[in-house]
Structure 1
Amino acid sequence: MKKQSLWMTIPVTTVVLLALAGCGGPDSNQPATSGQPSTTAGSEQTQAGSGDSASSNTGEQGTKTNTASNDSSASTGKDSTANPSTNESTTHSKLSDVDEVVKAVRSELKNQNVSLPTSFPLLNGQYLGAAITTNTAEASHVNFYIGDKPLALNDSSFAKSNSKIPWLASYEVNTYDNPNQTDLFPETDLQNIPKDMSVDLGHGIKGMVEGAAGSQYLTWQEGRWTLQIRSVSEDQMNNPGIAKKMVEYLESHTLPAPKDKGFVDVQYASGGKSVRVTISWQDGNRIHQLKTDQVPLDALGMVVSVK
């Protein structure tokens, strides 16, 4: 009987030891590795982009664009830079290609039929940034920027007070009941220009030179487009030289065909080192308008690329 009791004890002890050996398995409560947070550069819209001297304004075209590939992933969310009236937008991954930026803007606009510039005066190492500030079925407004690295559409850095990201251009489309009632298209009679006010701009185009209130103006027409250069009289800028470069450029590049009117307004600030170019045209009951502080040929190039 004693041997039998001893024999029954051995299995129990073995079971206990095996159970204790099983305590060395993996811990199921081990936390998962967290992902790295994304970062964005801090900067803000600058409404005064740098201009150029009178001589360089007559020759530069600046047609290079950065075409590096970008990350195609995207996420949705609210953006603090959106116009308060709409207060909504979709953020995207950082975009390093001009075509991707234009595509992202177009996909966000509520009016899917709105045309956009597709070419911008960027140098190698520069990237296009964009922020939509107005987005309704009747109106849209987009600001474009020059970045030194890729940025997301509607990146919050564009609205920061300490931003140093240069503003490149704005492009807006507005719908009007009667576009002809706007004050964007001045009435100018260039059919009979007095000889002492006439200047030959080449390709059979005559411009009219005028002076008023310390400013000098040169105005000419090409089809339905009226083009005008204004500068400060005391700067003695070569307005005809600038105009001739613009006329020559438009001989091989075509502006959008306006329904009735189009106006290219080139205004040089005192000293002639900075310029604001505003290009407006009618398209049915809509008016398109591009504004930029780039040289006139760069401004024309952006509008020529609109599609």
Structure 2
Amino acid sequence: MLKKVVFLFLLLSICSLSACAERNKNAQEHEIETSTSVALSNNDQIDTVQATEALQQIKEQIHFNVPIKMPTTLPIAEGTFLSATARTQGDQVEVIFYESKENMPINDIRLKKSATVIGRLLVKKYKSVEGASTQIAFDNFNQNGGQEVDLGYNIKGYQDAGAGSLWTGWNEGRWAIATHTRTDNPDAGVKLAKQAVAYLENHMLPIPRQYGMAQLDVYQSGNLIVWQDEKLVYTLDSIKDPLKALAIATAFYQ
């Protein structure tokens, strides 16, 4: 009887020790996970702060006779830093945005060789509002006609083909937006148009005065976004990813 009691006592002790060890292990794993989560959050915060400071520094480098708008944020790859070159010449400002593996100052000569271009912003001032408006190739696709296509969210697109190209265009407010593909790959143009429409359901393009236009290219070779703000015309180009081009443009909304 005594042997059984001793055996049960030893068994309970072993189980208790195992349970304690398991609890300690779980606690340590939770602590590691929590620490990692905090570290990632801190890294994200540092990147955001750096990008915000870089955009402010870019703005300070621009000496122009009228105030111009800048994006509130830019999509950069994780672990990279935002920088730019900024140049004012007469009635035009050119800003080329870069992402780099090291934190470089604005207008650093190393950017062209060791950093990746995110996109280019041109802002040009015209002598009159009428002169600026002639720079916007605005289309009312509903009136132009073409084959109708459902883009979702109660938006209709209109397709027009010619010279091996297929365009799917639609209007959102005072914006004319069109995707480009080749006639031998028609589904890609509709797919990109649907992605753009879905994105713009939750993101706002800048309010144009008077009009804006966007050309989004399936083959990432001709993305172009242009809008008017009174006498100023904003142009975004040199952006490979069409959806990233939209993301940059919507960052101008204020």
Report the TM-score range of the alignment, normalised by the length of the smaller protein. 0.7 to 0.9
State the number of aligned residues.
209
Matches of 1:251 and 1:302 in 2, distance apart? 15
The letter for the 2-side match of 1:280 is V
Structure 2 equivalent of residue 210 of structure 1: 160
1:145, 1:166 within 8 Å by CA — same for their partners in 2?
A: yes
Structure 2 equivalent of residue 42 of structure 1: none
Q: Greater Rg, structure 1 or structure 2?
A: 1
Matches of 2:214 and 2:131 in 1, distance apart? 18
Greater relative contact order: 1 or 2 (C-alpha under 8 angstroms, separation 6 or more)? 1
Structure 2 equivalent of residue 97 of structure 1: 50
Structure 1 equivalent of residue 27 of structure 2: none
1:119, 1:301 within 8 Å by CA — same for their partners in 2?
A: no
CA RMSD of aligned residues (A): 2.4
Q: 1:115 to 1:189 in 2, by over 3 A?
A: closer
Matches of 1:131 and 1:255 in 2, distance apart? 24
Structure 2 equivalent of residue 185 of structure 1: 136
Which segments of 5 or more consecutive residues in structure 2 lack a partner in the other structure? 1-42
More helix by share: 2
Match status 1:197 vs 2:151: no
Q: 1:290 to 1:67 in 2, by over 3 A?
A: farther
Matches of 1:279 and 1:187 in 2, distance apart? 11
- For residues 121-178 of structure 1, what are the alpha-carbon distances to aligned partners after superposition, in whole Å with 9 as ceiling and x for unaligned? 1122111120013255x3211001110111011001134xxx2421111112111124
**Which residue, out of 194, 213, 226, partners 1:244?**
194
Percent of aligned pairs with the same amino acid = 24
* Higher deviation after alignment, 205-214 or 228-237: 228-237
1:66, 1:98 within 8 Å by CA — same for their partners in 2?
A: no
Shift of 1:262: 0.2
Which segments of 5 or more consecutive residues in structure 1 lack a partner in the other structure? 1-64, 71-95
Structure 1 equivalent of residue 61 of structure 2: 108
The letter for the 1-side match of 2:102 is K
**Which residue, out of 138, 141, 148, partners 2:94?**
141
1:131, 1:144 within 8 Å by CA — same for their partners in 2?
A: yes
Matches of 1:147 and 1:219 in 2, distance apart? 35
Matches of 1:237 and 1:133 in 2, distance apart? 40
Shift of 1:225: 0.2
Q: 1:128 to 1:202 in 2, by over 3 A?
A: same
**Which residue, out of 183, 206, 211, partners 1:261?**
211
